[in-house]
Copies of this chain bind each other. A is one copy, B any other.
Amino acid sequence: MAQAIRLARRAWGQTHPNPMVGALIVENGEVVAAGWHRAAGQPHAEIEALTALGRAPATDATLYVTLEPCSTCGRTGACTQAIIDAGIRRVVVGAVDPNPAHAGRGLAMLSQAGIEVTQGVLEDACTDLNLIFNHWITAATPLLAAKLAMTLDGKFAAASGHSQWVTGQAARRDVMHWRRYFPAIAVGANTVLQDDPSLTSRMDGEVFCPQRFVFDRLLKTLHSGPLPKLYADEFKAKTVILCLETADPQRKAAALKAGVQIWELPADRGHLDWAAFRRRCAEEAICGVYIEAGPALATEVIESGKVDYLFIYQAPKFMADAAARGIGSDRRTATMADAFQLGNVHHSILAEDVLIRGKLLK
């Protein structure tokens, strides 16, 4: 199953809105065929593996697959039927289909056909592979995730705004990996003005540009001076500025003239209406957004519970300075039980730093 997970990950970030899935066929203790789902519209992993086998499986053949085979007839036909038709006698499954309407149905169909089914092997890892898909398919809204890099005392930057770097190289490389996982990235206007980022994922010599969002309710990033990279580089058609409907019409025009898209959102107590943002993403089939939050945006999204998931990179250092910038502090949190809690937490050790990620429980 660990090998099937590695196969699934070959399509890292390339299967949206579908899940990543890997499959292996083992005969007499040896892997004789392998497959993975490459992209939406392409064959499912099980079909890839059966096709790669190219013959009838041996009587002792076992199919390992990271996700429960689909039981409904989508663009590519139901995998359960293909497995039954192929004559596979044993199936080992990682995660159950996260869709409550389908969960267990594929397994039941296989069992009913007399196939020996084992489920839950490396289940947590198989489920974790598809954070975005699992959320999208169950909540019908994009997975909004915020990334924060902070010190042990929860600071993102010195009082001056100085923040390069909180974490070390391994953690910063890991960010590139998650930028490649999500179909969209978002930053606040302050980050654009201060850091002028390109928000591409640069890994193994390949440059990938996801959908790029800028939260800029008053279009202050279009105020004057040269255009930020996001509005001028070769990927500018992938940039969308999120502003209020009431933002300055001249600046809206300037954005459009630069070749950048704008989504005009209603206001929610002066801020952008996140519910409207979520709906618009859903309409456009954007199933996940990775928000690289500075102090202001992080405070807003955490304290208001606007995001679903947090990626916290924690560096082994202390600022011990009240004026340093961190998570906002306007709440009154009477007991430990009242703290914002992460659920289904995963840790990754990245040299001296650690990534702590999980669902923001509300």
Contact = CB atoms under 8 A, between A and B. Distances in A.
Interface of A: 150-155, 157-160, 162-166, 299, 302-303, 312, 314, 316-324, 326-336, 338-342, 345, 347, 349, 352, 354, 356, 358
Contacts of A338: 158
A335 B154 contact: no
19 contacts: A150-B152, A152-B327, A153-B327, A154-B155, A157-B336, A158-B336, A158-B338, A159-B333, A164-B336, A166-B336, A302-B318, A316-B345, A317-B341, A320-B331, A321-B329, A321-B333, A323-B332, A347-B349, A352-B358
A109 to B, nearest CB: 36
A323 B347 CA distance: 28
A342 to B, nearest CB: 4
Nearest to A150: B152
Given A152-B150, A153-B153, A356-B354, A162 B334 contact: yes
Contacts of A324: 329, 333
B150 A339 contact: no
Contacts of A330: 320-322
10 tightest A-B contacts by CB? A322-B329, A153-B154, A316-B342, A317-B339, A321-B333, A318-B340, A162-B335, A319-B333, A345-B352, A154-B154
A324 B322 CA distance: 12
A304 B329 CA distance: 26
Contacts of A163: 336
A158 B316 contact: no
A191 to B, nearest CB: 16
Contacts of A349: 347, 349
